[in-house]
Structure 1
């Protein structure tokens, strides 16, 4: 599955934070090396992370020195907190430098795991999914999806134009979702019909119950889709006999931090509806129903493995 530069930056930041925390073991170092070797962008991001670690090299020692003046019983806890802060500073700096500037400048945005519903003054309703950003210019009847995923309900006949990296969507008296992927944009129509234009000026009409992919090479063919795929609008993630690996990759979008799983779990099947408000509970439920073990290294570093049996 392709990932955006922001995804790669987040992963590099999390690897950096883990190594700086002092809790990384041999498996973590091996996992980092595997991640670095899996794509040239990963190695580039990691080299930037290393440069940042050198830039902030003096910070841990200064924080540790300050903690030595505290009474003995609290010194260990203070030092631990100080080193934790020191580890997070370069990671956060890396993330902020790698995320596109237009994401930070967007009119509306959501953090990882956050969803937002925004009524617009023209009577339309805009919903933002996790880690999304949208610019709004109602005077020009234009929205721009900068990052992530949005749902738009336009009850009136005055069309709203949704721009994205690979084209635009023109919607009136319709309900549509637009998701920006790393190498495409997925347009899903729930009600009514919308016009979709690619970057080459070609156009297609997409009916309710259909979705279409906008790509650099142009438009794909409209295809039917399962509306349950868009359950995030109601705070629900739904799977119907879905591969566990695919389900976890989707769940990962809603969890800050790093979610990893043993490759042997990829082909297990998942069916059910899960509330996105508590992703820890989703992991616990998966562990119960599929015989898994959930290891929380920290709140933001979680690994799923097959449950060990006593033999």
Structure 2
């Protein structure tokens, strides 16, 4: 499966997990129900993944009647169409099936995980500090003389006191007394070192050692070029999103990782530039600041469905 399809599958599964969470929490009001219906109607893959998620949930616990009515028996859905889509599950697209298999269950079964927009900090037995960024999941094994962390999804930061080994789909990151971030991406795993040094060991190929202030992309076949980076920029560890003249499209793609629901924008906004320090815990304020400083408008269909468009010129 290509990296692009992998990324698409993960995004699709993340969206499905968000809607399922709202449904389970009883927060699916009429407006959100309409948004969910639209999401499910975008493709057969969307609908098939939703049906798979519902079926799995019912295997673990009975669905309360009011919840079942809210989620599965809305009058604005065509019953025959819904039934036809459900019967088509045997031909479920590999994209949706891969996303469902690899993302929600993997996160739910992990030793530690965070939801979209959540961050979590844990002190390990040896005194090392582990931080999980938004929508991340890890398994932990802390034994005598070595801490093992398996990154399943998302991004982590480690301030290691003793030896630590981070297991990744592409290989290993091994360090002692180092501060570094590890982020899974569609094309590989980005490792950034703030202090100390980290050894990257791909599944195939020679190991590479990163020094303080360096980062590189780890793939299963090797380590990409070593590049310098600003060691002060992993601002998410302090709850900050720090950018300097960054294209708005890149900024919004990063912000979207921390916001549940749908965030969409007009392609004409992609090349606008953003500079500033933003509080990740208040994404609504971030959007308001963008609207105040850039020629764009923010439109809310609901708290979880937001779109950005170029500002209309006054006649």
Structure 1, gaps ≥5 residues long:
37-42, 56-61, 65-80
The separation in 2 between residues aligned to 1:161 and 1:53, in whole angstroms, is 36
Segment drifting more, 226-235 vs 46-55: 46-55
Segment drifting more, 276-285 vs 12-21: 12-21
Note the C-alpha offset of 1:84: 6.3
Q: Which residue number in structure 1 is paired with residue 174 of structure 2?
A: 170
Write the deviation string for residues 220-279 of structure 1: whole angstroms up to 9, x where unpaired: 121101234311000000111000000000000000111000111000000001000100
CA shift in 2, pair 1:175/1:123, >3 Å:
same
2:151 to 145, 148, 168: 145
The separation in 1 between residues aligned to 2:189 and 2:35, in whole angstroms, is 39
The separation in 1 between residues aligned to 2:180 and 2:258, in whole angstroms, is 21
1:276 to 274, 280, 303: 280
1:185 to 170, 186, 189: 189
Whether 1:296 and 2:308 are equivalent positions in the alignment is no
Compute the TM-score of the two structures, normalised by the length of structure 1.
0.76
Note the C-alpha offset of 1:306: 1.4
Cα RMSD of the aligned pairs, angstroms, is 3.5
Structure 2, gaps ≥5 residues long:
21-27, 57-64, 75-81, 83-96
Write the deviation string for residues 143-165 of structure 1: whole angstroms up to 9, x where unpaired: 1111100000013xx31111111
Residue correspondences, number:
272
Note the C-alpha offset of 1:291: 2.5
Write the deviation string for residues 30-61 of structure 1: whole angstroms up to 9, x where unpaired: xx76xx5xxxxxx6344444788999xxxxxx
Q: State the structure with more CA Rg.
A: 1
The separation in 2 between residues aligned to 1:114 and 1:20, in whole angstroms, is 21
The separation in 2 between residues aligned to 1:221 and 1:147, in whole angstroms, is 23
3-state SS in 2 of match to 1:126: strand
The separation in 1 between residues aligned to 2:160 and 2:18, in whole angstroms, is 39
1:115 to 109, 112, 119: 119
The answer on whether the counterparts of 1:4 and 1:181 sit within 8 Å (CA) in structure 2 is no
